[in-house]
Homo-oligomer: A and B are copies of this chain.
Amino acid sequence: MVIIVESGAEEQTIQNLIEKVSALGFTPHPIRGVEKTVIAVIGPKTQEKMELLEVMPGVEQIIPILKPYKLVGREVKSEPSEIPITGDLTIGGERIVMMAGPCAVEGYDQLIEIARYVRSAGGHVLRGGIFKPRTSPHSFQGLREEGIPMALAVKAETGLPFITEVVDVRDIELLHDVADIYQVGARNMQNFALLTELGKVDRPVMLKRGMSATVEDLLQAAEYVAVEGNDRVILCERGIRTFETSTRNTLDISAVVALKRFSHLPVVVDPSHASGHDWMVPALAKAAVAAGADGLLIETHTRPQEALVDGPQSLTPSAFSRLMKDLEAFCEAAGRTI
């Protein structure tokens, strides 16, 4: 860390700071300039003591130098991670993994119909919410327990792996058989109890970025899972909150580039939730592939007009098939397959 000393601090104040750094077990490197004095403090574990120094008299600001995450960072593992999902399917390698399906599982008939065309259009993973976290308690919360056997049946019939959201630590067990990938939603990105438990499961975890989480916050959240031993973490960019009102959220396409540079973990983009508009999804999906994403999460519905949740952003079967086709050329341009 670098300690910036207040302008006009007295010599004694500077000495006290230097001694405090030593007392914490680090080596202080003071550098005195005409207008400012700074004290550099280099070494492992320094970050954790930052708060003890920030309150010392004479400190104007302390600037961290080390990244606040380790296991998920490129400094620990420089090549990208290719994470196994089920069977031969992996994410983070050459293939762009297409995850598609309804926002919420509404019944067996709905799910099997969607699953069939997702598979026939070339999709790799079926998505579907069983427990739905909703902003209002008066909204539909998902089929809950009741939805599990439906999803199991559809998986069995289609062979598609299934990704579904877990919103409560107490449901991890319950969802174990049905969830080939556990999804952590944006609202729970910093539900550290949930992340810690998911660090102990034998399944990949897809972690959605919180609506106001920085790239660094997301990587620290991923670190919570990794530190418990589960290194199969997939990051997901799904839009951040800004002042713009023409989209539900603002898809932060640069975050894909930043995440791929700072971390070895695979990155998925969810253009459906980011934009909230079906007409925007194809363009954003192509942009995500161009920017280097490893997968896409697309909402689809056979009859968006009847969807119980998030209809406006769902693609119809024909729109999804067209997107799958249109993406081919972009994947090829990006040196990937689909």
Contacts and interface: CB of A to CB of B under 8 A. Distances in A.
Contacts of A257: 275, 280, 283-284
Number of copies: 4
A248 B192 CA distance: 21
B137 A284 contact: no
Nearest to A7: B75
A240 interface: yes
Given A191-B188, A253-B251, A258-B280, A311 B167 contact: no
A275 B65 CA distance: 21
A224 B134 CA distance: 10
Q: Which one of A8, A66, A187, A280 has the highest number of Cβ atoms from chain B below 10 Å of its Cβ?
A: A187
A246 B215 CA distance: 7
Nearest to A26: B33
Nearest to A141: B192
Interface residues of A, number: 111
Given A240-B244, A252-B250, A286 B278 contact: no
A305 B167 contact: no
Given A192-B167, A310-B51, A241 B212 contact: yes
A193 B139 CA distance: 15
Nearest to A280: B257
A32 B42 contact: yes
A326 to B, nearest CB: 8
A23 to B, nearest CB: 11
Interface string A265-302: 00000000011001110011011111110000000000
23 contacts: A48-B140, A51-B307, A51-B310, A52-B306, A52-B307, A68-B138, A135-B221, A167-B191, A167-B193, A168-B193, A169-B169, A170-B170, A210-B212, A216-B245, A240-B242, A240-B244, A246-B255, A246-B262, A250-B252, A254-B274, A258-B280, A261-B279, A329-B333
Given A55-B278, A188-B191, 15 more contacts: A35-B42, A40-B40, A51-B307, A68-B136, A167-B193, A170-B193, A187-B191, A212-B240, A212-B241, A246-B254, A253-B253, A257-B275, A287-B288, A329-B333, A332-B333
Interface of A: 2, 4, 7-8, 20, 29, 31-38, 40, 42-44, 48, 51-56, 63, 65-66, 68-70, 75, 133-140, 167-170, 187-188, 190-193, 196, 210-212, 214-217, 220-221, 223-224, 227, 240-247, 250-258, 261-262, 274-275, 278-280, 283-284, 286-292, 304-312, 314, 329-330, 332-334
